[in-house]
């Protein structure tokens, strides 16, 4: 059983993580200060290092939480290609709607720096998405020339790239239509139909 | 006719642009100084502002040059879906091999900042790629449910996302195989074949 104090501490931690994810997405990791996080979360500035040690610790915890949320969303394996695509479209729409999704773009540059502390965690997020997609594809009747592993990179890549084009030009790019086109491409490849 | 002095000035400009593109890609825009660019290019530090005004002017010129190179590579419209994919695969392989391609990832975060001076130029690069892809797709017998505009976002997105996954994990992601899978997906959608 959790005590009242533990519960409050857990709640503070969550409020700090939500505020930090928003700020890292909006301002970038380097430009965000503990004071900004305290302002946004309503939690005193002094308790942030108590929870997370350093700003790097806070960043790792933000990524850990994102990875946890992604894994929760991926626990069930869809039964067939249509159900899988319903799940993909649903997940991709949720991704586009979340204010913190920009975080993944903001942090990509940090993750690419040599010796970056978040490189490993960021890589885990990509691995998790690819692995989930590959396991789903392996259960489908893929034609020769379309190995599940390569196709998983293509599908995850398309979701990443569609999202980024939309972030940059929300009035010129319709992510729902691009995801529908991706769905049509894969369903036609798996179950070919005549013209 | 260009004079010797003009030619030398043009050469210096080019050397500065190549060095700046490499450094922005490696260290990020903010971390790069005129002194770094002078060191890398072998051109005196003082002549950089003479050519480009400010660091922002240098960044815009780097992007202008990238856009010019991309446009040069896209001038010819491929004749059919196979030739189009040969061109795409060739372009995508060149993209992966170039040391400065990371620049587009590094600058994406800058481009997403509200009021960013490079937002417009970055958007033009995406627009150019999508427009080229759309014009090519419009000449193909696309089936119903696959509009050229949406499919262009998907294809450009897949190239962006495959490249980024490879940048992050070059030992786990095979970009050639993912591009081959993309090619198979599109050719099967355009000219369906039985299993």
pLDDT tens figures, A102-144: 777 878 877 887 678 888 888 888 898 899 889 888 888 898 8
CB contact under 8 A, B108 and A109: yes
**pLDDT of A49 above 90:** yes
pLDDT value of residue A119: 86
Answer yes or no: is B175 within a domain: yes
pLDDT value of residue A195: 40
CB contact under 8 A, B109 and A105: yes
pLDDT value of residue A84: 73
Radius of gyration of chain B (CA): 19
Number of independent structural domains in chain B: 2
Do B94 and B30 belong to one domain? no
CB-CB: which of A169, A179, A189 is closest to B188? A189
CATH number for the domain that contains residue B1: 1.10.10.60
CB contact under 8 A, A146 and B178: no
Rounded Cα distance between A33 and A35, Å, is 5
Answer yes or no: is B69 within a domain: no
Give B3's Cβ-side CA count (13 Å radius): 3
- Residues with Cβ within 8 Å of A118's Cβ and at least 6 positions away in sequence, in order, are A59, A60, A63, A107, A110, A111
Answer yes or no: is A193 within a domain: yes
CB-CB: which of A119, A122, A161 is closest to B160? A161
Max Cα distance, chain A (Å) = 65
Do B122 and B150 belong to one domain? yes
Residues of A in contact with B167 (CB under 8 A): 112
CB contact under 8 A, A157 and B161: yes
Domain assignment of residue A179, given as a range:
74-195
pLDDT tens figures, A4-13: 666 688 899 9
Answer yes or no: is B67 within a domain: no
Cα distance from B2 to chain A (closest Cα, Å)?
A: 40
CA nearest to A106 within chain B: B109
CB A8: neighbour CB atoms within 10 A?
11
CATH number for the domain that contains residue B164: 1.10.357
Task: Kindly give the confidence (pLDDT) of every residue in chain B, 195 residues in length, as a single tens digit, with 9 standing for 90 and above.
Answer: 566 666 688 899 999 999 999 898 888 788 899 999 999 999 999 999 999 999 989 988 988 887 777 777 666 666 666 777 777 777 766 666 665 677 778 788 778 876 788 888 888 888 988 998 898 888 888 988 899 999 999 999 998 899 889 988 989 999 989 999 998 999 888 875 544
Cα distance from B181 to chain A (closest Cα, Å)?
A: 6
CB contact under 8 A, B126 and A185: no
pLDDT value of residue B63: 84
Q: What tokens were used for A172?
A: 């010129």
Answer yes or no: is B123 within a domain: yes
pLDDT value of residue B100: 64
Residues of B in contact with A163 (CB under 8 A): 157
Cα distance from A50 to chain B (closest Cα, Å)?
A: 30
Do A131 and A179 belong to one domain? yes
Do B161 and B139 belong to one domain? yes
- Residues with Cβ within 8 Å of A141's Cβ and at least 6 positions away in sequence, in order, are A190, A191, B195
CB contact under 8 A, A178 and B157: yes
pLDDT value of residue B78: 61
pLDDT value of residue B93: 67
Do B39 and B84 belong to one domain? no
Q: How far is CA A89 from CA A27, A70, A84, A188, B114, in A?
A: 28, 14, 9, 16, 28
Domain final residue pick, B18, B35, B61: B61
Cα distance from A3 to chain B (closest Cα, Å)?
A: 42
CB contact under 8 A, A188 and B192: yes
Do B46 and B93 belong to one domain? no
CA nearest to B177 within chain A: A150
Rounded Cα distance between A27 and B109, Å, is 10
**Region A138-154 average pLDDT:** 91
Answer yes or no: is B68 within a domain: no
CB-CB: which of A111, A123, A192 is closest to B194? A192
Do A50 and A81 belong to one domain? no
Do B126 and B167 belong to one domain? yes
Answer yes or no: is A106 within a domain: yes
Domain final residue pick, B61, B94, B112: B61
B50 exposed, middle or buried (CB, 10 Å; 0-12, 13-18, 19+)? exposed
pLDDT value of residue B194: 47
Do B57 and B82 belong to one domain? no
Interface test with B, best of A116, A134, A141, A154 (most B CBs within 10 A): A154
CB A129: neighbour CB atoms within 10 A?
19
Q: Are A8 and A47 in contact (CB under 8 A)?
A: no
Do A146 and A124 belong to one domain? yes
**pLDDT of A42 above 90:** yes
Domain final residue pick, B61, B90, B111: B61
Do B134 and B168 belong to one domain? yes
CA nearest to A143 within chain B: B195
Rounded Cα distance between B56 and B25, Å, is 15
Answer yes or no: is A68 within a domain: no
Q: How far is CA A125 from CA A20, A120, A129, A164, A175, in A?
A: 18, 9, 6, 17, 21
User: How many CB pairs below 8 A link A and B?
Assistant: 182
**pLDDT of A73 above 50:** yes
pLDDT value of residue A124: 87
Residue environment code for B112-126, b if the CB has 16+ CB neighbours within 10 A, otherwise e:
beeeeebbebbeebb
CB-CB: which of A126, A167, A188 is closest to B168? A126
Do A155 and A101 belong to one domain? yes
């Amino acid at each position: 059983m959790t005590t009242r104090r533990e519960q409050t501490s857990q709640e503070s931690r969550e409020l700090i993580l939500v505020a930090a994810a928003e700020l890292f997405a909006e301002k970038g990791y380097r430009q965000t200060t503990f004071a900004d996080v305290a302002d946004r979360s309503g939690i005193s500035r002094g308790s942030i290092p108590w929870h997370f040690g350093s700003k790097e610790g806070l960043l790792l915890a933000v990524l850990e939480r994102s990875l946890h949320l992604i894994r929760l969303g991926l626990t069930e394996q869809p039964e067939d290609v249509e159900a899988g695509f319903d799940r993909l479209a649903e997940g991709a729409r949720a991704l586009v709607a979340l204010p913190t999704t920009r975080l993944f773009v903001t942090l990509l540059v940090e993750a690419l720096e040599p010796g970056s502390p978040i490189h490993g965690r960021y890589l885990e997020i990509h691995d998790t998405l690819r692995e989930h997609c590959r396991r789903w594809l392996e259960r489908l009747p893929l034609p020769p020339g379309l190995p599940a592993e390569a196709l998983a990179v293509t599908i995850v890549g398309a979701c990443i790239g569609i999202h980024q084009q939309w972030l940059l030009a929300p009035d010129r790019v319709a992510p729902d239509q691009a995801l529908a086109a991706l769905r049509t491409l894969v369903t036609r490849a798996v179950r070919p139909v005549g013209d």
